[in-house]
Amino acid sequence: MSITSERTSAPGAARRTPAELPLTKLGPSFGAEIRGIDLSRLTDDQVTGVREALVEHKVLFVRGQDLDDTAQIEFGRRLGEVTVGHPIHDSGDVAPEVYALDSQENGFSDVWHTDVTFVRRPPAVSVLRAVVLPPNGGDTTWADSQLAYESLSPGLRTCLDPLTAVHDGNRAFGYYLAQRRQGQGNLWEGEAFTELTPVEHPVVRVHPESGRKGLFVNPGFTSHIAGVSEYESRGILDILYAHLTKPEHLVRHRWQPGDVALWDNRSTAHYANRDYGDQHRVMHRITLRGDTPVGPTDPR
Ligand SMILES: O=C(O)CCC(=O)C(=O)O
Ligand SMILES: [Fe+2]
């Protein structure tokens, strides 16, 4: 599917104007840069184009934007339902929808992860904006979970398809939550987060829009594979993580002021380099509501 080519419509269906989004692909099937758009003044067609490009290319970069938090949230609202910034993290001085990662406040993401997979319905999409950048370093890298799944051998894919894994936010956020006033987190989808109860997700996720299968485990939040020994779980996860992060499956972004990155959180993982010493780096993220992950053997 190409978002710049005409779409075919069912006979009698209204023909949609093709969204005009000039895309530069960054890899054969993963990552793209969109040029010549202003995220604060998108036409409806461009919004459709961005949504479709996200599912197809999984991580998109848009340079030269002039967004503040309000404009970033407004852009998110054009794409979907904006969640609170984080179920646990106190948004502090910024809007409740924003998750601010500030290197001076220990805001680092130098562990491979998919955002917020320790809740029942992890976000579908994340939108990240560079606010303060170090002179060098602080690149972010994304991994394509679908390409990684598809490039495993068929026998291993068959073994993985029925498995589930436990995701636990305690290692990353348990201490933080305990320190918050009365152990009170935020309201996430109407639910007050007072504890981090581990959740179970399929190891292989069927994308709700494309139907493509992708690995849905990550070192940040997956504690173990359910129903196998600890030894087997460790072995399986080690293989999957090494495979997921092979260079062929990655796109690395060197940030410039004005850059915005958005990714499909259902089909990717990411990692932010912490290689800039004491230099200051601040990123603001918003997330869009997602659905319950479904595996290949789950009834749909
Ligand atoms: O700081 C970054 O580049 C990425 C941070 C991160 O993991 C996120 O925004 O979800
Ligand atoms: Fe993240």
For 90-103, the pLDDT digits (tens) are 888 899 999 999 99
Tell me, what's the pLDDT at 174?
86
Tell me, what's the pLDDT at 181?
72
Residue nearest to atom 9 of ligand 1 (CA): 285
Domain boundaries along the sequence of the chain: 23-134+143-288
Residue nearest to atom 7 of ligand 1 (CA): 109
Best residue among 118, 270, 274 to mutate for probing ligand 1, ranked by most atoms within 8 Å of CB: 270
Q: How confident is the model at residue 159 (pLDDT cuts 50, 70, 90)?
A: very high
Please determine, for residue 9, whether its predicted confidence score (pLDDT) is greater than 80.
no
Name which of 172-176, 211-215, 223-227, 280-284 the model is least confident about. 172-176
Tokens in use for 294?
Answer: 């479904």
Q: What is the mean pLDDT of residues 136-147?
A: 98
pLDDT in tens, 259-297: 999 999 999 999 999 999 999 999 999 999 999 999 999
**Among 112, 103, 133, 77, which residue's Cα sits nearest to residue 286?**
77
Question: Is position 113 annotated as part of the catalytic site?
Answer: yes
Tell me, what's the pLDDT at 105?
93
Q: 282 Cβ partners below 8 Å, 6+ apart?
A: 100, 101, 102, 103, 107, 131, 132
Q: How confident is the model at residue 20 (pLDDT cuts 50, 70, 90)?
A: low
Q: Annotate 101-136 with b (16+ C-beta within 10 A) or e (fewer).
A: bbbeeeeebebbbbbbbbbbebbbbbbbbbbebeee
Q: Which of 224, 270, 281, 284 is catalytic?
A: 270
Average pLDDT, the chain: 92
| CA–CA separation, 219 and 51 (whole Å) | 27
Domain 23-134+143-288 sits in CATH at: 3.60.130.10
Longest Cα–Cα distance of the chain, Å, equals: 61
Element (H, E) at 285: strand 282-288
For ligand 1, whether the C-beta of 285 sits within 6 Å is yes
Please determine, for residue 8, whether its predicted confidence score (pLDDT) is greater than 60.
no
DSSP per residue, 116-175: TTTSSS--SEEEEEEEE--SS---EEEEEHHHHHHTS-HHHHHHHTT-EEEE--HHHHHH
CA 140 to centroid of ligand 1, rounded, Å: 7
Sheet holding 164-167, edge to edge: 199-202, 164-167, 222-225
Q: What is the mean pLDDT of residues 102-130?
A: 97
CA 251 to centroid of ligand 2, rounded, Å: 15
Please determine, for residue 230, whether its predicted confidence score (pLDDT) is greater than 90.
yes
* Strands 268-272 and 140-144, sheet pairing: antiparallel
Question: Is position 278 annotated as part of the catalytic site?
Answer: no
Q: Which long-range contacts (CB under 8 A, 24 or more apart) does 233-237 make?
A: 236/160, 236/163, 237/165
Q: What is the mean pLDDT of residues 39-60?
A: 96
| CA–CA separation, 287 and 99 (whole Å) | 9
For ligand 1, whether the C-beta of 98 sits within 6 Å is no
Tokens in use for 28?
Answer: 């054969």
CA 84 to centroid of ligand 1, rounded, Å: 16
Tell me, what's the pLDDT at 19?
63
Ligand 1 atom at shortest distance from the alpha carbon of 255: 3
Please determine, for residue 75, whether its predicted confidence score (pLDDT) is greater than 60.
yes
Best residue among 86, 112, 128, 173 to mutate for probing ligand 1, ranked by most atoms within 8 Å of CB: 128
CA 140 to centroid of ligand 2, rounded, Å: 10
Q: What is the mean pLDDT of residues 27-32?
A: 93
Place of tokens 């060098």: 136
- Note the ligand closest to the C-alpha atom of 274: 1
For ligand 1, whether the C-beta of 101 sits within 6 Å is yes
SS3 33: strand
Ligand 1 atom at shortest distance from the alpha carbon of 126: 10
pTM for the whole structure:
0.92
Tell me, what's the pLDDT at 6?
34
Residue nearest to atom 6 of ligand 1 (CA): 109
Tell me, what's the pLDDT at 195?
87
SS3 111: coil
What is the DSSP code (8-state) at residue 82? B
Question: Is position 35 annotated as part of the catalytic site?
Answer: no
